[in-house]
Amino acid sequence: MKEIYIKTDFIKLDSLLKLCGEAPTGGDAKKLILDGFVKISDEVCCQRGKKIIPGTEICVNGKKYKVIKE
């Protein structure tokens, strides 16, 4: 599991996908989310603006990430 560090209290899901390198653009992030390739706590999430707080684990195309606050 790869750790993704943020400096704020939350990050929006589409921005997180760009930050971790899974989506080079916002459009690519939106497509990943709407096509059901993103899971939050083992549940598919289709809300690209969902606020992700530190401690949350996401899975994208089988790759796992954990959000950590710096």
Distance CA 57, CA 1 (A): 9
Instruction: Please give the pLDDT value at position 48.
Output: 86
Distance in angstroms (rounded) separating the CA atoms of residues 32 and 35: 5
Q: Any idea what the CATH number is for the domain that residue 55 is in?
A: 3.10.290.10
pLDDT tens, position by position, 6-57: 999 999 999 999 999 999 999 999 999 999 999 998 899 999 899 999 999 9
- The answer, as to whether pTM is greater than 0.85, is yes
Range of the domain at 11: 2-69
Secondary element (H or E) of residue 31 = helix 26-34
Q: How many domains does the chain have?
A: 1
